[in-house]
Structure 1
Amino acid sequence: MKLIAILFLCSTLLTSLAQGDQQQEFVCNDEDLLKAVDAALTKYNDGSKSDNQFVLYRITEGNKTVDHDVLYSVKYEVKEGNCSVQSGIPWKECDYKESEQAATGECTATIRKRHRDRDFSVTTQTCHVTPAKGPVVTSEYECHGCVYPITTVPHDLDPVLRHAIQHFNNHTDHSHLFAVKEVKKAQRQMESGWNYEVTYLIEQTNCSKENFKVLTRDCKALLKGNTGKCTDLAHVDPQLRITSFSQKCRFLSAEDFFIGCPGCPSEIPVDSQDVKRVLSHSITKFNAENNAAFYFKIDIVHRATSQVIAGFKYSVEFTARETTCSKESNKELTESCETNKLGKTLRCTADVYYLVGEKKRIETTVKCQSPGKKQLRPCVYKGQPRDAGAMPTFEGEAS
């Protein structure tokens, strides 16, 4: 039996530990990392409707969170192999099809490793597959019964929030209507539909209940209005109807906004509206100041903090990737600018100050650097003979 050698690029993968916020570099011989990706790709191939399985090409992003269990978040690329789905042959024993005839894809997955039984289970996975000749096909997978956080609020959460704010306005005796200000935390469970748990802030609007029965576009947040915090539980059936709902809300006092160390940085959700505005300022400034021929766009937001210092200071850590839009042909970065998979990747930090008072202005500082040769670890991915039960291993390219 021959060993199948596949060139594989293991990029810098940072471990974000819940205890101490330490960072470590995933190395190519990290056995658990490969087992996590193996579980995700095997799950995708098992549910695939195509003729052939997909084979791992390279892992491009990844981190793990250590709490009660270990949660891996990875992004990896695949290529179509020469083994059919019905063959029962593991993807690790398949070779790539010819490049012109092979479909390719990129998957983002979260995999949980339970301390109790050390098993790897796929919590979520989304794959974008490009056929050899054809449009992009998207496939999604949700673990039945698993509860997992929603980092970017999906569109299917909108009906829950609309129901939630309507429920609050109908069951409180406040004189004015309230609107959803910001989602702070959300998680979902697939179980005969979907169970949601959502924590969010609400804010008082200028629409009184005497003049408005429901919220309209004319209802705007009052500058000195009341603010509240709600946590809701909702079940949405397969027909997208809300079949059960419960809500707990309380109004916030001034002390709620200054818990902990006044003036110290505090973590904020990376998908909040404030962070989105900060990222827009940051990438615009970076593209204007660097002399690259192509625009960069933000790919992954890793961390964000806010701080009250004579105004507001936001600090954000993110990964930026080169796009296919050249500065010569495009006046600015637009949503239509696609990421160049073969382009540069930068790790960036940005500080944005919103200064108040007479000298009200915005100051933005962005620093980016390429991962560089020290952070990239080119590796050869070695498959195993078909009768071997051990996991594949990584070896240095020089060997």
Structure 2
Amino acid sequence: MMRSRLGLCVLGLLCLHSSVFGQDAAQDPTGVLIFCDDPSVERAAHSAVSKFNEGMSTGHNLALFQILSARKSENGADSVYSLRFTSRKSDCLAGSNKPWTDCDYLPHGRKEPFTCNATVYMTETEADTRQVDCRFENVIIPERASCLGCPQDIDENSEDLKVPISASISKYNTISNSTHLFSLNRVGYATRQVLAGFRFKLSFDMKKTVCAKAEHNDLSELCGHDEENLEFANCNSTVDLAPWRLEAPLAEVQCEAGSMPPTVLKRRPPGWSPLRNLEYNNPAITPSPSNPTAPPPPKAAKAKEESSEEDTKASKPSASPDAANNNPFHCPSKPWKPFNPISSAGPMKDPTEATPAVDGGFKDTDLIGA
């Protein structure tokens, strides 16, 4: 009888224990859900993105896109925020002193945002990100494994672009049907790849100058933009360059009328000119006596802006900017900034894609024995 009563008591205690701890297990141990658009949550997310960018050494820094969920718990005097958010590549290069909040989203390349998780300890005045991870899926993370021989983004204001941009513009002026010379207006994006030499992929636009081809063989400091009769041309080019071989750069350009979309324009620094300090005379871009007026190159497909949309796989937002408020906790939050991706044909495709070698240019096989 005693054993039976003892067994019933143990069974009762086990049931009570299961009931109490079952309730606790049903609750998330990382805290209670809070609003995604709460100012404290936004401050925690900003701290997490900044912390992640501190570890970036190459490529582009990330910028916050949306906050997907947020939980809050207490740990002594600190409030602990557990966040899940998405981010996108910004147009600010890693290692720069420019804060990501002053950057815009990179309009080309990957369109889906990256999913990130973070734990941030916060007081009323400070935010301390203890852990932040972003899922890059198949994207190589430079600080963990560098990609030798892959195209690398370079700053659009880099002095290294003077020669390849000058070669591209000279090639265009040689083969175009325009009566006037064109000169650089703005640079969109640029990448550099190390093969047997350097391969540059560029996106830029130009303005018509006051210099007529009948009177000027090439651009000079006198060839200012014709502001009274504006005419633009935007181009994508691939330039192979090996300065140590004392060879002229080889440029392949595809151009069309009109300026570049505003989302990819970046202003060149004051005083920067591709006409200065040139070390090469490029015979490869001089028209031959038998064919002084070469036909224009095939036009690239016109870049078109896609409608701003959010990734349905990650955050599944609504098309309406205010639709996020239908969620009890306003999750996901509104995008930090509108994202307007661009897609185009030709060299403006993803810069990480391989580019066929031009005739007489560098090839991947040149690396053998180099």
Q: Higher RCO, 1 or 2 (CA under 8 Å, sep at least 6)?
A: 2
Q: State the structure with more CA Rg.
A: 2
The structure whose residues are more often helix, as a share, is 2
Fold-level similarity (TM above 0.5) = no
The structure whose residues are more often strand, as a share, is 1
TM-score, normalising length: structure 1: 0.34
